[in-house]
Structure formats: structure tokens, C-alpha cells
Structure 1
Amino acid sequence: MRKNLTLLMVFIMILSSGCTNNLYSSKEVNQSKNSAIDEVSNETQGQASTGALTSGSSSKGGKAEASASSQKVNAIDYNTVKPNECGQIMVVMFHNFIEEYQGKGDKAYTTTFSEFQKLLQDLYDRKYRLISLTDMLNNNIDIPAGCIPMVFTFDDGTAGQFSLTEKAGKLVVNPRSAVGIMEEFNKTHPDFGLSGTFYVNLGVKTTFKGDGTMSERLKYLIDKGFEIGNHTKTHVSLPEVKTSQKMLEEVGGNQKLMNEYVPGYVFNSFSLPFGSASKNLKEYVIHGNYEGTEYRHSAVMLVGANPAPSPVSVKFDPLAVPRVRATGITKVECDLAWWLDAVSKGSSQYVSDGNADTVAVPKSKKENVDMAKLNGKQLIEY
């Protein structure tokens, strides 16, 4: 108990001083802070004991459906697996990837290919499994029991993240890119998952610089199951945008270019450049119409600095999704390495029960579940 209380005090001190980013609002900061603190605080109250399974939703499937779902859930040992599907999910934010550091660029936002390879193996060994951002937003999380969902996001469309190269007259992924490394890892670890969202600035011609046209580059990612998100046309700092017309040009203009490169593809989410939002024109980040091109984002990514609440959590806000910064050449407080160490000491993170049709939580955490967000799924308390 004394050890847990000490851990709680350390978390509160750190979160109060350094695990937030002043580029987003105090409401969003407090949401992330409180989520982390509340989860660690629950540790001092002990683990929930095994009890009867109950349904907390009025699923239309009736008794037969509930019975089948309960039987599937009963196949796991709750005391061993300890599922917590209202726990936090790390949405990781990557930027630059390079072969080795040459003394230029931001060390905190730059990852070497070799370190990225090691990271994938480390995450796999820790039972993390990749899911798409869309599946997270829709609470369509289907991973094995005891595994932990994670979402990868990539900002700015750098060549180190992804590029194509011509080989024997055919365009193939550059093996020395994040996507190339992920594809290679997926060959031997297919259960890890192969997904991520790339936030692009299509007005920047160096986006995914390499062989092939912009259309071919984007289509390659989409065909592989990756998602593309809006990051403005030219990576403008939104607080510096003073007119609605300029905001529409940056946000809607990026969607218009996407329509030209990949007809019919619609951005579903938006990542704030520099993590900064426009106070007076923020509604244009969500939806608008630019020269006949309509756009609407169902989610907005922040820059920092904590794991995101579960999509069934009372604290989850898709229009303010916090992200964890990937560990760079220089480690910083609250980066991915920091959080991997922190969450391993508690029960704050999302742990799957292995059943995509249910939401399993310890009884002590039931109050964290927003019943309206279950969408017909059965709530299991234990």
C-alpha cells in the first residue's frame, strides 16, 4: 500500500509539472491529467475481485445473444487477464525517421530506423497490438485477450515515414522507411497489426518524397490499409490564420487536393499543426466547404502528452484526442519510453477481454464507463 501511495504522489507531481503541452486548452490538459491520476489512484484501492458477470446494456440480441457472449467471455481467467476496456490507449505521434543522427534537426522528434525496429519488437513483446484510429474511435477493438491496443500516427508526410522506390520497373515501398520496416515486421509478426494514420500537407510537394506520383504514393498507403488524415495544406500555424477564407483554403484546400489525387477519399480526422488551435476560427477545423469541396472531421489529434481515454470512457472526447510523443534520439519526459515504464506499474491502460462484442471492466472502474457509448455491446463487470 505504501509503495502504491508513493507511486501516486510521484505521478501527481510529474503530471502537474511536465506531462502536458501548453499548446492546447486547459480543459484538454486537465482531462488528460485527471485521467492518468484517477487511474493510478485506483491502484491504491486494490484489484477488483472476481464476481458474477452482469450485463450493463440493453442489447437487442436478447438472452440467447447475452448467453453466447457470456460463454465466450467466461473462457478467460479474469484474475489472470484482468481486462480493463475503459482503460487508456496510447495514440503515438511520430515525425522524422533517419538512418543515423548527423547533428541536424530536432532530436526529440527524430527516430532512427534501427530504434524503430527495436521498438516494434519491444511493443510486441509487451503485448501491444496495432489498431486503426477509426477502429478506436468506433470502439471496434478486436484483439486477443490480455493484449493492449495502440494507435500509430505520423505527422508531416516525411520521406522517412514512407516513400516509394522503383525496382525492376515496379514501384515498391522503400525498405528504409517506417512503412517498409513495419511491412517487414508484419511478415514474421502478422498478429501485431499493420495500421496507422498519416497526417499530410498536400500543398507541400516534398510529401513522401521519392519515386512515383503523389497519387501513387497515397494509393499505396490506402491499399495497404493505412489511413490518411488532414494536417492543413501547407502546415500553417492555425493561430496565425486571421480570416475564415484562409482557414478554408488550408483545411478544405487540403481535402480538395486529396480528391484530385485519390477521388472519393475523405479525411476522417485532423491533426493540429504544431498542436495549436485557432480560438476564433476553430469551427473550421471540424467542418466547412471550400470551392464546392465539403469536409467534416470526426476526430482532432492534439500534440501531447498523455494516453487517450477509452472510447467508452466518460472522459473521451474525439475532438481532443491526446497523443504520446514517440521517443526520439533525445528522450524527454512523457515520451513513449516514459509512458511504457509508467503504465507497466499500474492498471490504467486498456486491456482486452478478447471479445469484440463486450466491454469488460473491473467493478471498481464501472463508474468510468459512459453507458451511452456502448452502442449495444454487453458490459461485463467482474
Structure 2
Amino acid sequence: MGCFLHKKTRGGLLLLVFITLFSTCNNNVDDNIGHVLNLAGKNRAELEKVLKHYASNVEDSLKYQAAKFLILNMEGKYSESYNAPWEDVATVNLRWSSSSDKSKVIETFNIGELIRKDDIHHITADYLISNIELAFQVLRDKPWGKHISFETFCEEILPYRIGTEPLENWREKVLASFADLNNSLREDSTITAVKACSKVNDILPRFRMDKDFSNMNYSQLMATTRGMCDSQAALAAFVMRGLGIPVTIDFTPQWKIHPTGHTWNSVSDSIGQHISFMGGETNPHNKHQGNTLQKAKAYRKTFQNQRIVEADKKDIPFLFQDNIINFSPSLDSFYSQIS
């Protein structure tokens, strides 16, 4: 696949070539976008506002394709959060690791039940437009941006959420928190996405391993810095993507010889190869559990909706209800990444 559109000044003809090359991540969207808009109900106007915003200008053709990608795959995405001050939620989280009676803790702190908000019914046009604009901005001003395909961009930089965390303006917060590093990455004309990933990973907060945390957004992860490996991987993905570095979240539900699983990250290099690392802990090309221990299967989380099991949702195992792809590389492939 070709290179990402790096500068607007490349002209209309080149833009047309890029649009043709990078329509991959939006196959059949025109046939399905109406279905999603109908599902949005009263929130349909917000989604249509985003599409109209980018449809009116030919220079925004790629952003229009990006908007359609997000909207087309919005079904099933949602936030789960407590309607309580974060201080109380954080305190409950921190107590869960030393209390087996979780219901009593929740009741005592009076944080209530988890509230679910489906994106398709609650997300705003302003939020989506801001997400799209900042995602394009951070990639276009980075030296490696011209090597990133639009398909990779859609999956590994563009998504506005990681899991079921409460939504926030995390891209603006990342750019504010890591402003100096972001400037140095823009100014280094020779730096690659992989090297940039290592620089960012070196200064991410180190986590204290703890369990039973609710799904946290960027601000909550930065404030708490406690959780399991999936929390580490989520924070790394927020920061990397916020700075224009294409990063995935990979996991195995179970090791071949251990009854537990593990989550880690991978960064996409200039030829589209994914190099694994452990967010906030181990840099690309170095050893970590994800590229040394044998896995029964390995999966990659995606924003694009996947249907890997053909059955009613109630009959699908919990693991396969997430949007994941099976990439299960051989152990030799993992070892080849280690220098």
C-alpha cells in the first residue's frame, strides 16, 4: 500500500491517487452508513453534521473517508462509568485489591452502578471532528507520517477510544502533557515511528500491578498509574496515538504452559511490520513476556467491527464479543524482533 498524504501542497491529482489507494479501510461504507445513521436515532443529526463538514471540500476527502470509517464502526462502542467524583471512584479502585467484598465497598462509597452510554446515541459532532483534525495533524507533522498507510492510520491512530472508558478530550491532553517531546519529534527529520515509540515509552509512568480496576480513560490512567498489563497497554496506546505513532493493543488469553494471559503493544514501522513492546516498561526490539513466552493464540484489538463467530451474540463466548483479529505469529517471528 502506498504512503500517507503528507502535505496538502502535493496537488489535486496526487490527492486523487491517495484517495483511491486508501479507500481500503472503508469498503462498502456507502452501502452501510445509512444503517448506522438510522440506528443513531435522535443523535443522527450529530453524525450527519460530521459527514457534511468534510463532504463540502475536496481537500478534506481523506478526512471524509476517516469520518465514515469511525461512524461505520461506531455500532457497539460505548462508555461505562460511575456517576460519582473521580476521587471516590479511584479510592474504591485502590481498595478493591485488598477487599474481597467489592459490593460492600461500592455501597459504602455510594458510587452507584456502572452507567452505559452508547457512542452512537451520545457522541457529538464537535468531539468527532476534533478527534479527526488532531489525528491528521499529529501524523502530517511527523517525519514518519509519509510512510504510514491510510489503513494503518484508521486502525492505529484515528480511533477516538481504546475500550469502554468514559470519553474525554484525551488528544488535547496528550499534546499538552507531552508538548516538549512532541516538538522534538516533529523537528527530528530522521526519526522513525519505532524510535519515537521508544522515546515516548521511556517517559511513560511506571505502573504498580493491581487488579479489579474499572476501564479508565487517559486522565484516570495517568492519575492512578495502577492496574494490570491491559491498563499499561491502554495508556501507551493513548499517548502514542495522541502523538501520531501507530500502535496496537495485542493480547493472549492464555499462555501455553500458564493458566493466565497477558496484554502488550505493537508499533507499526515504515513497511507496515508490527514490532511488539510493553507500554511503560519495555521498548521495541527488547525482550518482554509478549515476545518470549509461548502463546496458545494471539489476538489484536481493532476499532473496525469484526464478526469472527457467526452466531447470536448471547451464544458467542465473551472473548469473541470484542473486536479482535487472530494474528497468532509463530514463536520464531517473535524472537526475530529481539535484537
- Identify the structure with the greater strand proportion: 1
**Using CA pairs below 8 Å that are at least 6 residues apart, which structure has the higher relative contact order?**
1
Give your verdict on TM over 0.5. no
- Identify the structure with the greater helix proportion: 2
Larger Rg: 1
TM-score normalised according to structure 2 size: 0.27
TM-score normalised according to structure 1 size: 0.24
